[in-house]
Amino acid sequence: MQSGLCHSSTLLAANNMSCSTTVAIGNSVFPPNSNSKSRNSQNRREVISLLQKCKHYQIPQIHAKIIRNGQDQDPFVVFELLRLCSNLKSIDYASKVFRRTQSPNVYLYTALIDGFVSSGYYLDAIRLYCQMVNEFIFPDKYAITSVLKACGFGLALEEGREVHAQALKLGLSSNRSIRMKLMGLYGKCGEFESARQVFDEMPEGDAVAATVMITCYAEYGLVEEASGVFDGLREKDTVCWTAMIDGLVKNGEMNRALEVFRDMQRKNVWPNEVTLVCVLSACSHLGALELGRWVCSYIDKNNIECNCIVGGALINMYSRCGDIDGAVEVFSRMKKRDVSTYNSMIEGLAMHGKSTMAIEMFREMMKRGLKPNSITFVKVLNACSHGGLVELGFEIFHSMTNSHGIQPQIEHYGCVVDLLARSGRIEEAYSFIERTKMAPDHIMLGALLSACKIHRNLELGERVAEMLVNCDDADSGTFALLSNVYAASGKWKEAARVRALTKEAGTPKEPGCSLIEVNNEIHEFLLGDIRHPQKENIYRKLEELNPVLKREGYSPATEVVLHDIGERQKEWALAIHSERLAICYGLISTKPCTTLRIVKNLRVCNDCHSMIKLIAKITKRKIIMRDRHRFHHFENGACSCGDYW
């Protein structure tokens, strides 16, 4: 691209040109009363009518008719042809038509610029605008709006600044559409001082402008700044509320997102489809099943179409909130299902230990003629891993290349390593890593290291640990696992060294956290948490359960406490795990026989797993727990995972 959008002489020439009035017809822009006899001619009306009804494959035929009629230089006809090509994703054909046009005006340039933008060719749109200005064609507000959109999507900050300067010189900078695009440009490029300056010049209370600003802040993780704009707006429409909720969800602020949604309900602002999908996403992360069910009911009552996007969000919500039957029901009611819908359903079944059903769902998808994608195979291989279906997993893995033409990526190799490692075939998993064409990442090595710890193959664990230390993208969870492997083998100095490395790298260990939903409110617990208003009753319930559990045969598995402390201290460390506190709160806060649903951010330890099975038996409760890897349905002293997780 040439430096600068135009020379100063071009701008001066443009400034000296008189600005003619324009009128907008639909999405089209034309000069008024231009060549009225020609515009009203029968041939033109017929051709434009044909263009408006045209299908993709008919474009060359109609274009040939236009040429035969001698209308290939008619600006009105060419404008409609360019717009048609753009709408039908035939931007290459539109470019050829434009190049054959003699002396194109600003409207034709704008039509093609719009076409480039809608097709994702942002730099081409900017180049075309440069060409237009350097041809001394006067840019109007529509052309400037279009090129600013291209600059924003293409993150072309310098070019956008030059267009801004042109708008100022041409007296168009006060135009609302141009200001909106300037805010979007500066916000997308992280130039928030400039974006805010434009925003502050907008009329106070402009909800659309505020929405743009909120979205830009949220995309860069500036949640408080986004909240400041949102809170400062008196009248907010549905789109503005949705932007704030979406921004919070994308930045991991799930509780705050639900709080904003509840406030939206209190203000009697009706959510739209996008709002509901965002709320369902927050419910999925938090395990907020009751609120998720309310959203599902709202969708039904208001006859909102359960399309692939809404249906997929509902399936994810029910699956991740522990109600796999609800997910299956939504799936069965959907009239249309795409690959993404099947992927969500396969993942949900796999997480709940229904590996065989997940494989059947995969086969059903292919019978219906839907082609599995790369993500599908990740979900199916995970299903095989959760169910211990090693041979079937290998068969599916090899079918990726042999039957579907999909080359395995690092995540697929990681699934195979996890498949082998979980089943105890650790040496085979290690050999598989050595044979892969790709260098192993920390997720793949972490899965193998976790298996080494579970199956107590500490010799191989140390070899894998050494590889992990040299892995540049290892995160806090990786180092925590590495430290635990050393601690499990009694190598306390090595464990301490890894913890020290973690602190030096500035990657603190993720604390264990458990959530439980009671009366539509999410309650969070950490290890040994004393923040909850009901803390005395929670710990009293914990003390009541301990002797009953011991009579049922519970013995603390202190070997899972990987710290160099005494046995009694280890027992106490186990007793105050976050999931136990959440369960005790659930027991004292809900009616007998109520199902308790817990969400934990880490893998549940062996001791808690054994203990929860007994609590479910003693209290005659069903306890559903989602940990980092899967769901555990505890009932009558047993778990749905079959102690294989």
Residue 65 inside a domain? The answer is: yes
3-state secondary structure 309-372: HHHHHHHHHHHHCCCHHHHHHHHHHCCCCCHHHHHHHHHHHHHCCCHHHHHHHHHHHHHCCCCC
Q: Rounded CA gap, 364 and 387, in Å? A: 19
Residue 5 has pLDDT above 80, yes or no: no
Q: What is the value of pTM for the model shown?
A: 0.80
Structure tokens at 396: 């599916």
C-alpha span between 160 and 187 (Å, rounded): 12
Between helix 458-469 and helix 426-435 the angle, nearest 10°, is 30
Res 14 pLDDT > 50: no
- Can you give the pLDDT at residue 18? 35
* CA dist list (Å): 274 to 240, 271, 294: 11, 8, 16
Spatial neighbors of 350 by CB under 8 A, at least 6 apart, are: 358, 379, 380, 382, 383, 386, 387, 630
Structure tokens at 109: 């340039």
CA atoms of 567 and 561, how far apart (whole Å)? 9
Tokens standing for 393? 């997993």
Q: From 534, 535, 509, 528, select the one nearest 578 (Cα to Cα).
A: 528
With 60 as the cut, is the pLDDT of residue 154 above it?
yes
Give the single-character DSSP code of 529. Answer: -
Q: Is the dihedral of CA 489, 491, 494, 500 positive or negative?
A: positive
Sort 622 into a burial class: Cβ within 10 Å, 0-12 / 13-18 / 19+: middle
Mean pLDDT of the chain: 86
Q: Can you read off the two tokens belonging to residue 89?
A: 């994703």
Domain contains 153:
yes
257 close to 248: Cβ distance less than 8 angstroms: yes
Alpha-carbon span 122 to 349, nearest angstrom: 41
- Which segments of 189-338 does DSSP mark as H helices, in order? 192-200, 207-219, 223-231, 238-250, 254-266, 273-286, 289-301, 308-320, 324-333
Q: Is residue 54 part of a domain?
A: yes
CA atoms 220, 224, 228, 231: torsion sign: positive
- Cα–Cα distance for residue pair 425/390, rounded to 1 Å: 10
How many Å apart are CA 514 and CA 420, to the nearest integer? Answer: 29
- More confident: 507 or 64: 64
Residue 564 falls inside a structural domain:
yes
End-to-end CA distance of the chain: 55
More confident residue, 36 or 521: 521
Q: How many domains does the chain have?
A: 2
- The amino acid sitting at 473 is D
Span 565-594, average pLDDT? 86
Give the tens place of pLDDT for each residue, 245-279.
Answer: 999 999 999 999 999 999 999 999 999 999 999 99
What's the pLDDT score for residue 563?
A: 56
Is the pLDDT reported for residue 24 higher than 70? no
Confidence of residue 458 (pLDDT cuts 50, 70, 90): confident
Distance of CA 184 to the CA centre of its chain: 21
Q: Rounded to an integer, what is the distance from CA 267 to the centroid of its chain? A: 28
Which residue type is seen at 160?
G
Which of residues 171, 198, 226 is at a domain's end? 171
User: Of 121, 151, 171, which one is at a domain's C-terminal end?
Assistant: 171
Percentages helix, strand, coil for the chain (3-state, rounded to 5) are: 65, 5, 30
Cα–Cα distance for residue pair 248/217, rounded to 1 Å: 11
Position 525 scores a pLDDT of 95
Instruction: Give pLDDT, residue 447.
Output: 83
Domain assignment of residue 58, given as a range: 1-171
CATH number of domain containing 10: 1.25.40
Average pLDDT over residues 391-403: 95
Which secondary structure element, helix H or strand E, spans residue 524, and what is its range?
strand 521-526
What pLDDT is attached to residue 59? 82
Name the pLDDT band for 9 (thresholds 50, 70, 90).
very low
613-631 pLDDT, tens digit per residue, is 999 999 999 999 999 889 9
Q: Quote the Cα angle for 116-118-122, to 5°.
A: 45
What is the pLDDT confidence band of residue 216, given thresholds at 50, 70 and 90? very high
- Which range among 486-495, 508-517, 592-601 shows the weakest confidence by mean pLDDT? 486-495
Q: Is residue 104 part of a domain?
A: yes
CB 274 within 8 A of CB 240: no
Give 97-116 pLDDT, tens digit per residue: 999 999 999 999 999 999 99
Residue found by looking up tokens 């141009």 in the block: 178
- Let me know if residue 530 belongs to a domain: yes
Is residue 270, in this structure, part of any structural domain at all?
A: no
Give the amino acid at 169.
K
SS3 readout for 400-426: HHHHHCCCCCHHHHHHHHHHHHHCCCH
Last-in-domain residue among 171, 195, 220: 171
In angstroms, rounded to a whole number, what is the distance separating the alpha carbons of residues 437 and 455? 27
Evaluate whether 94 touches 115 at the Cβ level (below 8 Å): yes
Q: Does 612 map to a domain?
A: yes
Residue type at 292 in one-letter notation: G
Q: Higher-confidence residue: 615 or 491? A: 615
As a whole number of angstroms, the distance between CA 613 and CA 281 comes to 29
